[in-house]
Structures are given as C-alpha cells and as structure tokens.
Structure 1
C-alpha cells in the first residue's frame, strides 16, 4: 500500500509536533510539502523535515498531489485556506481553534462536507490512553450516567506575540481552555447555557497583552448536569497543569493528563491507575490515516471543532454582557 502524501500549512511549533508524528508513522505516511508566508522559515522547516517548501497554498496543492493537508495556522490567519484545500479534494486535519467566529467555522465544515473529504479537528487530548479507557468504561456502562465535569488549564508563559492579543488568538479561553471544554462537551454533550467571567489580571501592564489570563466557565444542562472550567496564565512558570475530573454515577475519574488518571469505582471503592506515554499526536494521525483508508469518519470530526468553538465564543459573549448565554 502506498504511503499517504501529507502537506503542512503553517511551519510553527505545532507544525513541528505534527511533522515529528508523521515521521513516527513512516510506514503509513510521508511529509512531502510544507507551506508558509515566511520564505526563510519555510525553507528551514523543509530542510529539517525533508519536505518541499512552498509559500503559496495553491502551488503546494497543484504540485504535491496530497492525500492529507494538516492546517496548523494561528486562529487569526484562517482566511479560506481550509475551504480551498477541501475544494481541491484533499483530506484535512485542522488545528484548534478552527476559527475565531462561528461563520468561518461553519463554512469550513460545509466545504469539507460538500467536497466529500475526510476532515478532522486537532483535539488530540481525546487520544490519550486515560481518556480512551474512560470512554470504554462509559460505553460498557461502568461509569453510569455522567453528571459533572470539572477542569482547568493553568500555566505561566508570555507565549507568542500573536497569542497575547485577543483579536488574533481569541484569548486563553478560546485558544487553550478550549481543549478542556472539548472534553467536557464530549462527555456531557452540547450545553444549553454558558456563563463566564474573565479578566486580564496578571498581565495588564504587559505591552500588547490584552488576552484574558484568569477565567471561569459554567456549562449548564437543562437536566441538571454541570461543567465547571477555569484557566489562568498566572500560575507556576514552566508547568502546564491540565487537570480534570469526571463524576459518573458509578465511577469518578481524576485525570492529571491525557495518559494519566485514577478511575475509582464508587459502588465498591476500588481504583484503577493509568499512567502511559502514548504520543497523542501519533495516535491522532493514525486515526486520520485509517479514516482516509477506510473512508470513514475520523474519531474527532471537524464539526466537533465548530461545536466546541461555539461554547467558548458564547463564554466570551457572557463575559462581555454579564449574562448567561443560552445556546
């Protein structure tokens, strides 16, 4: 079976993670092209990963005969590239957040659907062994009904220049906490209401930093379920604490990462510990590859990227208006 030909749009840090993952699946795919606006940066990336450099997306599509394009652009840089790739008949993996507005996100999903291409969203947390084990337990009825999700994303970094500007990143809720929001939505479904508070508390004196760095979101469900999520960029430098807890009728999961959790059966109080080293970027790409080969939906379809984006954008609307937003 021939290798899938992969192209990368965007040559930043997240693109390097994908390029490394592609190398880890060398029996299934190969990176043949990369594309970005900065010619010198693209050339260096291409040399490092053995790809052909491009500074024009259409040129890359015409020249490379891609089976899969990975879109690893900052959220503000989406200006129709996904739609162009889909129209060319190329399958897609789009990094989150897939856009900064609902209209753009819906246009991406619709373009992929109309073109009949496989389209996935880069919520790689869902591919961790601890997350997958919980999913299997839930599917088998071990957890009982899930009624609560509590999660956080804590760090302390200045990040890239574009990240600090809300107009370009969407803010911390939209660009980082969205991973935890997606896990909550995946477990509980789309909420009926969203209420949030957020502020630039720790970095208000940093030039050109107007992103929120302290936030909390409550997701409400008409049947009484609830999710409570928070984020800060004022915590411990050098640490990225992405933690969450899921409470079901018969099982509680305490996650310290996508590969690490303690699952406790609450009916007889016995625990199971998961602690592995699975590369979720590799696992995610393996799933996308299998979806392309089998012409099936990926485990995290692009439509999920739009659904979760709706929640974090509603959270920001709640921050601005001081109201609970009904979806």
Structure 2
C-alpha cells in the first residue's frame, strides 16, 4: 500500500455517497477520508456512519461549512459534490491553497464565475477532474479513437425520464438552483456530443412546459429538443424530458459516421458497433464507472500526473457553456453562437 492520501468531501448528498462507496473499494490506494461538510447535518452524519461501517477507526468529522472544514482537516484532495447553485467558494479556496479537486457536474451556473476560476486554475497549473464519468468507458474510448479517422456526421441522443418527486424544498425542479434538466442531467449527453463530435458552433432549442403540475417550486422545462451545429460541419440533436411517466425513455446516444455507427444505450452506455459489411459488435458498459473515474483522479493526485484525466475543470466549462447556450436558445427563441 502506498502513501496515505487524505480526502475531504464538500457536500454529503447522494453523489457524495456514490463516490464514497467507490473510494472505499479502492483499498490499494490508502485513501483516508478526513471530513464531510454539508448544511444538512443528517446527510453529513449518514455519510459518516457509512464511512465508520467500513473504517471503524476513522477520525473523520462533520462540518456545516466546507471552507471551515478545509481550514480544520488535512486534505490532499477535495471532492466538491455540491448542488449546481453552491459552486464557487470551495473551488476558490482550493485554488488559493493549491489543493487538487474533483468537481461534480455541472460545475456551476454562473458562466462568468466559471471562466474566472478556470483561468486561475490554468495559471496555477492546478490538477482538477470533472465528473463526466462516461468518458472513461471502454466503448466511448473506442468510438472516439475511430471517429478521429472517420468523423461523426450525425449525433442523436436523449435523456428521457419521469416527473420529479413532489418533495418540498427540492432544488432539482427549481431552474434558478439546478439550471434545469439540460444543465443538470442531460449534460452528460451534451458532454459526449463534444467529446465524440467536437466543439459546438451554434445551438437551437425549443421546449415544452405546463405538463408537470403540482410539484413544489417547479420552474424547469418538461421537455426540450436541442439542435447543435458542430465546428466540423456535423450536426447533433439532444432530447430531454422529465415528464415521461409511462416509461420507454431512458438514456441513449447514437453516433453515425460514414462507415461505422456507434449506438450507446442505458445509463451504463453499453455499445453496439455497426460497420458496413461486418457483424455487429457489442461492448458492455461498466457498472463500476465511479470506481474507474475515482481511481484515475486519486492516482493523478498521488503521482502529480494528470494525463489520464479525461475531463478537467476547464474542459467541463465548455460543456457548461454549451448547455447554458441551449437554455438561452429556449428562453429567447433565437439560435445562440458559441465562442
């Protein structure tokens, strides 16, 4: 077992639990969790109980404020797993103190702030990793490699699910807190459009509203259709819906090049490859993708070598810019050009 790596969690919700479970399975890396910070004390205590069940000798502590936590505990790296509206203070502390950090998507809602932080990160050459875990999948990597020689012509994806639960105070259905489904959830598909098809040039979008009713604080779209013109000349479309209670939706991305088609389906992004004149080839998606992603990040912190990281903070900023442009196209009814 190598040297000890101290990790602190800013945020203690469901995605923090997913990363904690993954880290606890990486026994060969000698990761020591030193603290959890969340305004919800019960969430913090729940994560601490889970940690103690696996590591009874832990001396990790709970805090209500992430910056105060980082002033009190040892942290070689930080997991920033907070809601979209809460980004900024923890990232700034990590940048100022040169602490490598993993940040979950979306990395914020304020594009001006994200650009400012991205510039500071680049100036300090700070190691960062953003939570676009699908980039680590074998099928995604195989498709990306092939598409370098036979580029995508058309990409078509979607994220179709049921209506949000009627939970008073939930931030997810409140657009000013979550950014809406495009920014908070379908962002994974938008990110893969970029990763496999290249950067976007222009975005068009329309949305459906008024179907979901009686959900406290609900201000997001019920569904949207986004069309994207890529710099390569290819085009893409991404459908999103959070009102499909009868089922039959799911997650998918189909990528069509001239001589090959890549059909990804399901949360695990299992892949069927179709090549002209050949039998179909199936590549199963990885169920343990958080372990794979977290191993890459933690190894990068241990070695100081971030070359295996597939999405940095600055790269994730480009995905945020794309999804915010889709929101702007919905709100204005006009196409949005990207930088």
- What band does the TM-score fall into relative to the shorter chain? over 0.9
Q: Residue 147 of structure 2 contacts residue 196 of structure 2 at CA under 8 Å; is this kept in 1?
A: no
1:204 to 1:42, Cα distance in 2 relative to 1, 3 A: same
Q: Distance in 1 between matches of 2:37 and 2:160?
A: 32
- Can you give the 5+ residue segments of structure 1 that lack an aligned partner in the other structure? none
Cα distance in 2 for partners of 1:195, 1:275 equals: 33
| Distance (Å, rounded) in 2 between the aligned partners of 1:239 and 1:108 | 40
Counterparts of 1:193 and 1:130 in 2: how far apart (Å)?
27
The equivalent of 2:271 in structure 1 is 261
Q: Secondary structure of the residue that 1:73 maps to in structure 2?
A: coil
Cα separation, 1, equivalents of 2:25 and 2:113: 32
Q: Does 1:296 align with 2:298?
A: no
Of 97-106 and 79-88, the range deviating more from structure 2:
79-88
- Consecutive unaligned residues of structure 2, counting only runs of 5 or more, are 53-59
- 1:325 aligns to what? 336
SS class of match (1:64): coil
Gap change, CA 1:259 and 1:173, over 3 Å in 2: closer
Q: Secondary structure at the match of 2:217?
A: coil
TM-score (norm 2): 0.89
Shift of 1:115: 3.4
Q: Does 1:106 align with 2:108?
A: no
After superposition, the Cα gap between the structure-2 partners of 1:18 and 1:291, relative to the gap in structure 1 and judged at 3 Å, is same
Task: Within 5 Å, give how 1:89-168 maps onto structure 2.
Answer: 89-138=98-147, 141=149, 144-159=150-165, 161-168=170-177
Aligned with 2:195 (options 186, 193, 205): 186
Give the equivalent residue in structure 1 for 2:319: 308
Q: 17-26 or 108-117, which moves further after superposition?
A: 108-117
Higher mean C-alpha displacement, 20-29 vs 154-163: 154-163
When the two chains are superposed, the root-mean-square deviation of aligned CA atoms in Å is 2.0
- How high is the TM-score relative to the length of structure 1? 0.92
* Residue 15 of structure 2 is aligned to residue 6 of structure 1: no
Match of 2:74 in 1: 65
Deviation at 1:249, TM superposition (A): 1.9
Measured against aligned partners, the alpha-carbon deviations of 1:242-273 in whole angstroms (never above 9, x if no partner) come to 1110111221011113441100112x232211
How many pairs were matched up? 323
Equivalents in 2 of 1:236, 1:132: separation in Å?
33
The residue that corresponds to 2:23 in the other structure is 22
Measured in 1, the distance between the counterparts of 2:77 and 2:140 equals: 26
Q: What is the CA-CA distance between 1:137 and the residue it aligns to? A: 3.4
Superposition deviation, residue 238 in structure 1: 7.4
